A and B are shown apart, each in its own frame.
Chain A
């Protein structure tokens, strides 16, 4: 491990030096590429209204996108449906029931505009246009549906294989059965205790769902579902709701009237503990979001470095670095799924603790 750390930091320092060197050589041209890479990364990290596969710029400067358009669903005094291809990447205004909508492509947001599609800015360069509530089937929604269907197929076929094979798993289930057992024996049982059974469905689903989405995020199709704050918020909210709904008297007693400490301290502890109830799921949300988001940014930056260097030494070093980081990200994908699950289990455990005072 120490060797790996040393190796990585050496590579980082080396590549930073090379980077500085090459930028000095031709600052104008590289600056343009850098901006492009930055935009590209920022755009990739966001959700998208179409399933993009590739894009390139023609010689006459026209940008060509190869992508699958996805349905847009807006709520603006009634639901509006149309395909995302109608926006033409923010160049065209879409008319629906005498309302006009235009997409701000860099932000990937849909705004209500006039028939000309003008964006109105205030003094601090902030958009003032009204935003309809966007229920579109975005790229992330498509990926989630795909993951959900994949999980349904995978685990239902595992359950079926038990029936047809006298209680012994067969095929792909062979690989996943020990993981299910691991979640039960190493995550749920030691952290929750004897009431672990009612949480098993949630823990197993969240573990595999986050794991598959994290792994899908490492594929070159460019998916970033678990690095999206709305997703991690929804996951953490579920943990929060389940923790507090299933909590026993003991749990609430420990929050509002801590037993075993002097009374004045109890008064001080109550607000802190109450804050903790909200902070715990919030950390879950931020941890998963930041790890996945950060991993994507780092990997794509290193890959981008190859194009910034544009020479044999720097680019190949960046390639090696990107390759090593990818291996670490693979581990992080598994680790974050594990951490989310084990911390959820731990919070459920708090809610179910039986104290003997």
Chain B
């Protein structure tokens, strides 16, 4: 103990305390605080990253489920659209068929009418000609009658032979 006390140097104690305390102070300010802060930040960062990765994984899973749902709906929609289109096509075709039929009917009808008109016109023409001929025959007959009865009859026959319905 006496040896220890003899060895003890106040000067060394003073310098050591001074150096050590200022070292603690300086290191605390310029080294330990930034170092420990950075390490803490890094640890927090790693924790956060792990958490967000987990979250992302979950999100991915839900997203995948969503995707499947959307795909399914899209498929249904596609099918319905296709069906609609097919229906539309059928209706268009049948409608146009009807239309064509109607048109054709109309054309036939008007053609029939024209034919009838032509026929009527032709018949009335014939009638006119027949009337003219009749008048001519009557005229010639009248002229012949005046000469001979027998001859008159002959003439009428001959004339009638000539007359043909056109």
Residues in chain A within 8 A of chain B (CB atoms): 46-47, 73, 133-138, 140-141, 144-145, 148, 151-152, 155-156, 158-159, 162-163, 167-168, 177, 180-181, 184, 200-202, 204-205, 209, 228-231, 233-235, 237-238
The answer to the question of B131 belonging to the interface, with a C-beta cut-off of 8 Å to chain A, is no
- CB pair A181–B39 under 8 Å, yes or no, is yes
The answer to the question of B28 belonging to the interface, with a C-beta cut-off of 8 Å to chain A, is yes
Main secondary structure of the interface of B (DSSP, over half): helix
Min C-beta distance of B38 to chain A, whole Å: 4
Min C-beta distance of B78 to chain A, whole Å: 50
| A323 CA to B20 CA, complexed, in Å | 32
- CB pair A158–B35 under 8 Å, yes or no, is yes
**28 A-B Cβ contacts within 8 A?**
A46-B7, A134-B9, A134-B11, A135-B10, A135-B15, A136-B11, A138-B11, A140-B12, A141-B16, A145-B19, A148-B19, A151-B27, A152-B23, A167-B42, A177-B35, A181-B39, A201-B32, A204-B27, A205-B24, A205-B27, A205-B32, A209-B23, A228-B7, A230-B8, A233-B13, A234-B16, A235-B20, A238-B21
Residues of B within 8 A of A177 (CB): 35, 39
- CB pair B16–A201 under 8 Å, yes or no, is no
Min C-beta distance of B87 to chain A, whole Å: 64
Our pick among A138, A152, A156, A209 for the contact of B12 (Cβ within 8 Å) is A138
Known: A201-B27, A204-B32. 7 other contacts (CB 8 A): A138-B11, A155-B27, A156-B27, A202-B24, A233-B13, A238-B17, A238-B21
Residues of B within 8 A of A138 (CB): 9, 11-12, 15
Chain B interface size range: 20 to 34
| A207 CA to B3 CA, complexed, in Å | 27
- CB pair B9–A180 under 8 Å, yes or no, is no
| A308 CA to B27 CA, complexed, in Å | 47
Min C-beta distance of B36 to chain A, whole Å: 6
- CB pair A151–B23 under 8 Å, yes or no, is yes
Complex: chain A residue closest to B36, CB-CB: A200
- CB pair B34–A231 under 8 Å, yes or no, is no
- CB pair B12–A141 under 8 Å, yes or no, is yes
Residues of A within 8 A of B14 (CB): 135
Q: A133-B10, A201-B28, A231-B16 are in contact. Are A162 and B38 (CB under 8 A)?
A: yes
Q: A180-B39, A229-B4, A230-B9 are in contact. Are A152 and B31 (CB under 8 A)?
A: yes
Q: A136-B11, A141-B12, A145-B19 are in contact. Are A167 and B41 (CB under 8 A)?
A: yes
Our pick among A136, A155, A229 for the contact of B35 (Cβ within 8 Å) is A155
